[in-house]
Amino acid sequence: MSTNPNFGVWRPMAENVEFNALESNSNAVMAVADTVRTTLGPKGLDKLLIDQAMNRHVSNDGVTILLSLKAIHPVARMIVEIAERQEQMVGDGTTTAVVMSAEMIKEGKRLIKELGVHPTKVAEGIENGVRLACQLLEKEAKHISTNDIELEQVVRTSLASKLDGERLANLVISALRTVGENARYNGEYDFNKSIMVLRKTSTEDQVVNGIVLERNRMDPELPVEVKNAKILIAKLDLKPVKESWIKENNKYQEILLMENDRIAKSKEIVDVMLSTGANTILIASPEVDQAVEDILVARRVFAARISIDEIEHLSRYTGAKPVRVIEDLKRSDILGTAEHIQEDEDNDIIYLEGGRGKNMVTLMVSGTTKETSLERWRAAIDGVNAAEAALNKGVVPGGGAAELHVIDKVKGLRLKGLEQVGLEVVASALESIMRQILANAGFNGLEKVMAAKASPPSYGIDINTGEAIDMWKTGIIDPLLVKTMALRASGEIAKSVLRIDRNLAAEDLSQQALSESKR
């Protein structure tokens, strides 16, 4: 087989076109899965990622590794996209989705090539098997609250394989408990609105009850600290007279008038802003006239630039409503408050504490190097996402136990004809998670899976001793949503790949059209 350099498509040989396409696509999936499967579980290993600039990064985060692959083969890229979607939707379980996808495709290929089962029959069996498996997992799930010990267990399980997992788990749990029920919006938890995760190598790990901004004051002569802050968030145009207008003018008198007008208008804007009673101005305007900054310094008003992305958090925490036009300054409800604002000049950060709005916390994650801090930051976000998924949809036994103990019921589903064999594909995928976790821990995965199957429901294998244990009692639990999303995603990709009977490059289609036109 050769590769089309323009489209990155593996081109099959003329003979056995269908099987060559299946073999090519299956090999691409296996190559991607083999890259990340050894990272699964608490004993999983790390990967050293090196980019073109020779920057290095050590990680065992599935989606981080997959996105660094720069996959060319179209089916390999589909696998990466599935992992990326899993990350966006749930924030965890990317490696699980890839491993199950690979297992389904491998088993499906065996049925098609060795037993001659038609791909559509296999796909229909997969669809039914995935649907039933998700239903069974949902029935087994337990719902938890922020005060339950299970919330801690979910976070610790999620971070067990991460760098400094235990320490990060304690930080994440502290942040979750601090915001508590305040993170509920429209009946569901949304920690993105309540917990900010900040990476800062120059500080210690800490949970701050409030908002921390990686910002400085606009000018070193502005106050360093404000108590009982009355906060105005400005998205106003704070450059009333553009410098380009002045530069384009070549008449001295007009230039002088425009310069005086610029200063007068800047003073007018600042006067109107301060007339609201604000003693703190957080500015999200694209440009700020130097005259505006100078007047704020003269008036001893705390002022800092913020990004558009930070507005939502600051508005929610302080109660301030962003001001976009001068007319908005006449409203009586635009100011927010905070008990204390202070800049840490040594670390270039600003603390806002005691806001009158929604309770929010900032989880500050450090690291000895840029690489380790980045990995710990990602891990902390994974822990928060796992907790959110667990609180919203419930939890199931971890370590692959939940999937393992629904296999018999999936196999017991009665389908018509050859669709039945498609259930074997799903069963193999369900078993693959525990098998891979145990293999990564140094055990014979197949042998230990058999031992777990013979144990009561919710039992799995202790990765340290190899003994069967009750995952519920041991506190090894996972969010239901991670399992069901990964299972559905792997089912979708498996059905798509198994139904492909030929890989066509653009030139193949051109040649085909040319041949037909000559007939």
Residues 389 and 399 in one domain: no
Q: Is 362 helix (H, G, I), strand (E, B) or coil?
A: strand
Angstrom distance (rounded) from CA 246 to CA 242: 7
| Lowest pLDDT segment from 58-72, 342-356, 479-493 | 58-72
Structure tokens at 505: 């490059």
Mean pLDDT, range 495-514, rounded to an integer: 69
Residues 29, 92 within the same domain:
yes
What pLDDT is stored for residue 18 in this prediction? Answer: 54
Cβ contact 109:116 at 8 Å:
no
Q: Is the dihedral of CA 85, 87, 91, 94 positive or negative?
A: positive
For residue 332, give the 3-state DSSP assignment.
coil
Of the candidates 403, 385, 510, 390, the residue with the CA atom closest to the CA atom of residue 459: 403
Answer yes or no: do 241 and 333 share one domain. yes
**pLDDT tens string 72-120:** 788 888 888 888 888 888 878 889 999 999 999 999 999 998 888 999 9
CA dihedral of residues 451, 454, 460, 462 (deg, nearest 10): -40
| pLDDT per position as a tens digit, 227-281 | 999 999 999 888 765 555 445 555 555 555 666 677 888 888 899 999 999 999 9
Q: Which residue has the tokens 């995603």?
A: 489
* Confidence (pLDDT) at 393: 94
Task: Using the Cα atoms of residue 263, residue 267, residue 268 and residue 269 in order, give the sign of their dihedral.
Answer: positive
Same domain, 421 and 319: no
336-344, strands of its sheet edge to edge: 210-213, 349-355, 336-344, 225-234, 280-283, 302-305
**pLDDT at 454 (0 to 100):** 92
Residue 127 has pLDDT above 80, yes or no: yes
Give me the pLDDT at residue 473, please: 94
Whole-number average pLDDT of the chain: 86
Instruction: Judge whether 62 lies within some domain.
Output: yes
Residue 226 has what pLDDT? 95
Into how many domains does the chain fold?
Answer: 3
What global pTM score does this model have? 0.82
| Pair (122, 175) in one structural domain | no
Domain limit, last residue, from 358, 383, 406: 358
Question: 3-state class of 239 per DSSP?
Answer: coil
Strand partners, 341: 226, 352
Instruction: Tell me if 226 is assigned to some domain.
Output: yes
> How many of the other CB atoms lie within 10 Å of CB of 191?
21
Distance CA 295, CA 265 (A): 11
Q: What is the pLDDT of residue 296?
A: 92
Q: In sequence order, what DSSP letters do the residues of 70-99 get, joined into one string?
A: ---SHHHHHHHHHHHHHHHHTSS-HHHHHH
* Residue 508 forms part of a structural domain: no
The pLDDT value recorded for residue 503 is: 77
Please check the confidence at residue 136 and state whether its pLDDT lies above 80. yes
Which domain does 189 fall in, by range? 149-209+365-393
18 found inside a domain: yes
The domain that contains 230 carries what CATH number?
Answer: 3.50.7.10
Query: Does residue 320 sit in the same domain as residue 379?
Result: no
CATH number at residue 59: 1.10.560.10
pLDDT in tens, 423-447: 999 999 999 999 999 999 999 988 9
pLDDT reading at 355 higher than 70: yes
One-letter identity of residue 14: A
